Structure 1
Amino acid sequence: MRGELVVETLVSVWQEMYRQSPSKVVIDEPHHSRRLTAEDLFVRSELSARRLAALGCGAGDRVSIDVAEPIDFLIAHLGVLRLGAISVPVPKGSSDGEIRDLARNCSPKVVLSDHSLSASWSEDGVMVVNLDTDVRPDDEVSIDDADADSVALMLYTSGTTGKPKGVPLSHRNLLATARSVLAAWEWSREDSLLLALPLHHMHGLGIGIHGTLCAGATAVAFERFDVDAIIKEVRNQRVTMFFGVPTMYAKLLGHEGFEAFANLRLMVSGSAPLSAESFRRITEVTGQEPLERYGMSETGMITSNPYRGRRIPGSVGKALPGVAIRLSGGDEGEVLVRGEAVFGGYWRQEQATREAFTSDQWFRTGDLGTLDQDGYLMINGRAKELIIKGGQNVFPREIEGCLEEMAGIVEAAVIGEPDEYWGERIVAVLVAASAPPDQETVRQFVAERLSRVKVPDEVRYIEELPRNRMGKIQRELLRG
């Protein structure tokens, strides 16, 4: 009807993209030889929604999804969205206790699981349903009725700088994020994305899966990152794009088959900083530059290096379409963000929500950055990681980048520790390839490249830097 208001949700956009090609494969699991077409996904996600309704779930209810395999996860996730409920993905590898803690925070109506959870869950009033449980669907309930501002998804922050917080995201938020990267990266229905990222996170789910659905494309998905299997899939020349985190690229660089990635049209890196040395090596091996981008659970994707244009090592690029950024101090300071993708506030945390926004409603990312004359953003680290030595601000990421250029150093993390004289002292925690350089050699290397105040006061060596599931360094574990 002319003039009728069209309400767009993630589900409605996905359905429209695949309506003319119901036999198109939406998601492919090579490791299990499973595929799901658009028609299959439509039917099976509707059945999932109606089974949830029969269990008492409805619009606005939270449903925790503790499912490992990508196809099963996607069916469950879309089933929740089609019912108008809120999908709450459980972090991969979570223990019973961790899942219980998450449930106590988000109060789900149901926990969907692909394995058996502790029977004591019933004591907390939480209904746990296994995927293979036979539940008679409710054929009368209305589905696909959510509106653009309905909450569709709740992610939890990584907790690297504090206790994880729930981040409710609406259909409008999720669509804005997906459409910004579709436009920036020229993502189309002809693309096939190789995806081995966790699906409880913005990178894997909010970009990888939702982007695939909104583009009408295909995702070739793995439950875990297996270097040999990934290389094999790229060699088959069925995929055009790859999304990864720096630790994945580090493993790929150690494989002789990584040169096959030259067949892809786009390699994206995110969730943690990609070192300039890794950028150089990836480019050298594959003949193409990785594209680094920057985003958060609360904002979706914020910036990206250009698909066509200059990609700068160490930079996360320019603001994506529909996103506005500014720095609190002009050309440097905390990164502030506005746009349709930005969430409205933390789950049941009014104080944290108030503190997260400026008086004129710009979201405070907590990341410190600088802008160059062309508008490219460099992230210098978290505001909570800033080291103040003798009254001077020291950004850990700048020193880490310097150290990672040193022969024999594989990885570097820089932290601040209390010091009676300086206020804070600089400690460099390093991973070495073989025989580690001694402390004075490291200090001299930094002194020749950076100002005196940035020279580490102490150097420590460990076998491996502690990281969370998305590859972010857990700096709190390095202190002490």
Structure 2
Amino acid sequence: MLGAGRRSPQKVAVHYAGGDVTYGELDSLSARLSHALVEHHAINRGDRVVVQTAKAPEVLALNVACARVGAIFVPLNTAYTDRETVDLLDDVSPALLVRAQALDHTVPRVSLEELVHSSLPLPSLFEDVASDAATPAAMLFTSGTTGRPKAAVITQGNLHFGCTTLNEVWAITSDDVVVHVLPLFHVHGLFVAAYCALSSGATMHLLEGFNCDEVLEVLGTSTLMMGVPTHYTRLLDDERFAATVTSSMRLFISGSAPMLASTHEEFFTRTGQRILERYGMTETGMIASNPLRGERRIGTVGPALPGVNVRISADPPGVVEVRGPNVFSEYWNRPELRSSEFTADGYFITGDIGVIDDDGYLEIVGRRKDLIITGGLNVYPKELELVIDAFPGVLESAVVGVPDADFGEAVSAVVVALPGETLDVEELRVRARATMASFKVPKHFFVVTALPRNTMGKVQKADLRREMILL
């Protein structure tokens, strides 16, 4: 990122609500923040710096500053409650918390605004601490939808491999203008969208979040957008979204959650462009991607990225396993997980059930933890969801298992109707019986207005299970 800035210091790196920031300004700010971390807050190599603050260009500069001083950047979701934040702080024992709001914790705290202000009189040059591919660069907490969240340690090598590989396969260059609508506290928003843009010398429209009006305003001067399926469905819900708005765009990328085939098709009909779907996770960064040039197959996430090895475990139900320079080094303070999360020959066990076709395209069938065992028989939720989603009047569905005295787990379907449609539970059940084996037919159907999702658009099936158990 600093290399790109030093080649073109006057070029705008970030357009945002507060104005423009050039690469040279980003470089200088990262140097001043590096001095502030060391001189004002005694940050040393290997110290954890937790950042829980609103999306802003200064967050990017602080991320670079942490790397320059050898500290480990730990971004936290701003939606976490104080209790959740305290638990995570206890886990990583940071030397500094960058957050505006007070918190009942002993860690030293400073707001991002105060940190930036204190750096103003400091030098705009900094001698970087030496690092190599194995140097820890960041920690990201896994979603923790079940059990205790884990902090994945991401190395400099992981990040370098990720952005250089993606810039190559997606042909991202300094000519690109990226629409950035994602948070800066996870892989997709920070280590993919932002890192690819900055490391290639591109320009970003750094939007606070996803807002249709704002996105439509900048699409006409942009070339690339990375988002989650929810972002694209919201664009399609807006009658202003059409090919005339996307004429300058060369690539739309989607990830973090599977996209419905109907969304793919409607997007193509409206814009003439195919969304590129890819696959990754916190512990691995990006794993696979549909091709920039070549067939983008709906329902798949494409072949493995160059340099990444992907295989399907021999034991049922066939779990995706990954090895390569993209894979994280460890879970922080959780050495006992090494044997359960990695195979004997070094492959990371993703927990996703998948299949690879003869052309190497990977299809994610579901999560191993979502597998339903009913009466001793395996039911794969995604298989049923694809069938139910095709029923008349259905927008989308989620299938989960809930405790059942007779069968162990009962297959249950939560269904959302298309706008203006009304769904009849008994009619859904009749259609299911006509299209599924009897043991797969949901015992319960629930019609809801929307499925619960996290910030990345992933359906929160644990929440659905809890709600249905209470019914």
TM-score range, shorter chain: over 0.9
Alpha-carbon deviations, 1:194-219, whole Å to 9, x = none? 01101111000010111112212111
Asked if residue 297 in structure 1 is aligned to residue 297 in structure 2, the reply is no
| C-alpha contact (below 8 Å) 2:32/2:126 kept by paired residues | no
Quote the Cα distance in structure 1 between the aligned partners of 2:78 and 2:211. 16
Matched position secondary structure for 1:360: coil
Residue in 1 that maps onto 2:85: 99
| C-alpha contact (below 8 Å) 1:414/1:426 kept by paired residues | yes
Q: How far 1:404 moved relative to its partner? A: 1.6
Alpha-carbon deviations, 1:263-296, whole Å to 9, x = none? 3111111101101111111111111111111001
Q: How far 1:89 moved relative to its partner? A: 0.5
Alignment partner of 2:12 out of 22, 25, 29: 25
Matched position secondary structure for 1:261: coil
Residue in 2 that maps onto 1:5: none
1:101-120 alignment runs, 5 A limit: 101-113=87-99, 115-118=100-103, 120=104
Residue in 1 that maps onto 2:213: 228
Residue in 2 that maps onto 1:213: 198
Residue in 2 that maps onto 1:241: 224
Quote the Cα distance in structure 2 between the aligned partners of 1:28 and 1:346. 35
Q: How far 1:418 moved relative to its partner? A: 2.4
Q: Which amino acid aligns with 1:239?
A: S
Asked if residue 255 in structure 1 is aligned to residue 238 in structure 2, the reply is yes
Q: Which amino acid aligns with 1:252?
A: L
Q: How far 1:59 moved relative to its partner? A: 0.8
Residue in 2 that maps onto 1:473: 459
Residue in 2 that maps onto 1:401: 386
Q: How far 1:35 moved relative to its partner? A: 1.3
Q: Which moved more, 1:434-443 or 1:299-308?
A: 434-443
Structure 1 residues 404 and 262 mapped into 2: Cα distance closer, same or farther (>3 Å)?
Answer: farther
Q: How many residues align?
A: 458
Residue in 2 that maps onto 1:160: 145
Asked if residue 194 in structure 1 is aligned to residue 175 in structure 2, the reply is no
Quote the Cα distance in structure 1 between the aligned partners of 2:438 and 2:299. 22
Q: How far 1:129 moved relative to its partner? A: 0.8
1:114-193 alignment runs, 5 A limit: 115-118=100-103, 120-121=104-105, 124=106, 126-133=107-114, 134-135=117-118, 142-193=127-178
Structure 1 residues 141 and 178 mapped into 2: Cα distance closer, same or farther (>3 Å)?
Answer: closer
Quote the Cα distance in structure 2 between the aligned partners of 1:348 and 1:331. 30
Q: Which amino acid aligns with 2:329?
A: G
Residue in 1 that maps onto 2:43: 57
Q: How far 1:138 moved relative to its partner? A: 7.3
Asked if residue 419 in structure 1 is aligned to residue 419 in structure 2, the reply is no
| C-alpha contact (below 8 Å) 2:319/2:368 kept by paired residues | yes
Structure 1 residues 428 and 262 mapped into 2: Cα distance closer, same or farther (>3 Å)?
Answer: farther
Q: How far 1:378 moved relative to its partner? A: 1.0
Q: How far 1:331 moved relative to its partner? A: 10
Quote the Cα distance in structure 1 between the aligned partners of 2:316 and 2:161. 26
Quote the Cα distance in structure 2 between the aligned partners of 1:255 and 1:141. 47
Q: How far 1:417 moved relative to its partner? A: 1.6
Quote the Cα distance in structure 1 between the aligned partners of 2:303 and 2:435. 27
Alpha-carbon deviations, 1:358-385, whole Å to 9, x = none? 0111000000011122211111111000
| C-alpha contact (below 8 Å) 1:293/1:316 kept by paired residues | yes
Structure 1 residues 382 and 17 mapped into 2: Cα distance closer, same or farther (>3 Å)?
Answer: same
Segments of structure 1 that go 5 or more residues without pairing to the other structure are 1-13
Structure 1 residues 448 and 374 mapped into 2: Cα distance closer, same or farther (>3 Å)?
Answer: farther
Alignment partner of 1:90 out of 52, 76, 88: 76
Structure 1 residues 370 and 262 mapped into 2: Cα distance closer, same or farther (>3 Å)?
Answer: farther
Q: Which moved more, 1:426-435 or 1:377-386?
A: 426-435
Residue in 2 that maps onto 1:376: 361
Segments of structure 2 that go 5 or more residues without pairing to the other structure are none
| C-alpha contact (below 8 Å) 1:276/1:401 kept by paired residues | no
Q: Which moved more, 1:132-141 or 1:299-308?
A: 132-141
Structure 1 residues 141 and 191 mapped into 2: Cα distance closer, same or farther (>3 Å)?
Answer: closer
Residue in 2 that maps onto 1:7: none
Q: How far 1:252 moved relative to its partner? A: 1.0
Q: Which amino acid aligns with 1:21?
A: S
| C-alpha contact (below 8 Å) 1:161/1:384 kept by paired residues | no
Q: How far 1:465 moved relative to its partner? A: 1.2
Q: Which moved more, 1:198-207 or 1:446-455?
A: 446-455
Quote the Cα distance in structure 1 between the aligned partners of 2:148 and 2:228. 23
| C-alpha contact (below 8 Å) 2:12/2:23 kept by paired residues | yes
Q: TM-score, normalised by structure 2?
A: 0.93
Alpha-carbon deviations, 1:23-66, whole Å to 9, x = none? 1111211x33x111111011101000110101110111000112
Quote the Cα distance in structure 2 between the aligned partners of 1:391 and 1:262. 53
Q: Which amino acid aligns with 1:299?
A: T
Alignment partner of 1:436 out of 412, 415, 422: 422
Residue in 1 that maps onto 2:345: 360
| C-alpha contact (below 8 Å) 2:221/2:248 kept by paired residues | no
Q: TM-score, normalised by structure 1?
A: 0.91
Quote the Cα distance in structure 1 between the aligned partners of 2:81 and 2:407. 42
Structure 1 residues 165 and 233 mapped into 2: Cα distance closer, same or farther (>3 Å)?
Answer: same
Quote the Cα distance in structure 2 between the aligned partners of 1:411 and 1:70. 34
Q: Which moved more, 1:449-458 or 1:73-82?
A: 449-458
Q: How far 1:142 moved relative to its partner? A: 4.3
Quote the Cα distance in structure 1 between the aligned partners of 2:146 and 2:314. 22
Structure 1 residues 406 and 108 mapped into 2: Cα distance closer, same or farther (>3 Å)?
Answer: same
State the identity %. 38
Matched position secondary structure for 1:263: coil
Quote the Cα distance in structure 2 between the aligned partners of 1:329 and 1:457. 31
